[in-house]
Amino acid sequence: MSTQPNKTLETFPNPAAHRDFHIHMQIPEFTCLCPKTGQPDFATLTLDYIPDQLCVELKSLKLYIWSFRNEGCFHEAVTNRILDDLVAALQPRFMRLTARFFVRGGIFTNVVAEHRQAGWQPAPVVALENFEQNLNIRD
């Protein structure tokens, strides 16, 4: 039995819902079709999110992304659609989807779409300057 593209996004419980942590994913094989010419468009998607109660299951994400392969989509529309579908499934504290489309007609297109849960604020950034030097790591 072969695996088929699918629009269903499966989830699992966040194993550390008591804290903010960052999930970073690179999806280098996104494809869809140009809605004007029908020619393939290729992109690398970068998904960054801070989960609340749910995380996305990776195989379902792969099949979901694959489901766009034969769809005609404008870059801006498909990026926002994917973000909307992920937000609906996960209800994350924060999510950013960056779509870096390869050149078409001499133009590279990058589309960045974000979601922020109402009332959520990120924790302050902790800078660990010269961290490795302070550990006295020796070669």
Residues labelled as active-site residues: 34, 41
d(CA 90, CA 55): 6
d(CA 17, CA 21): 9
Helix (H), strand (E) at residue 11: strand 11-13
Contact 82, 115 (CB under 8 A): no
d(CA 110, CA 87): 20
Task: Identify which of 111, 112, 100, 108 has the alpha carbon closest to the alpha carbon of residue 44.
Answer: 100
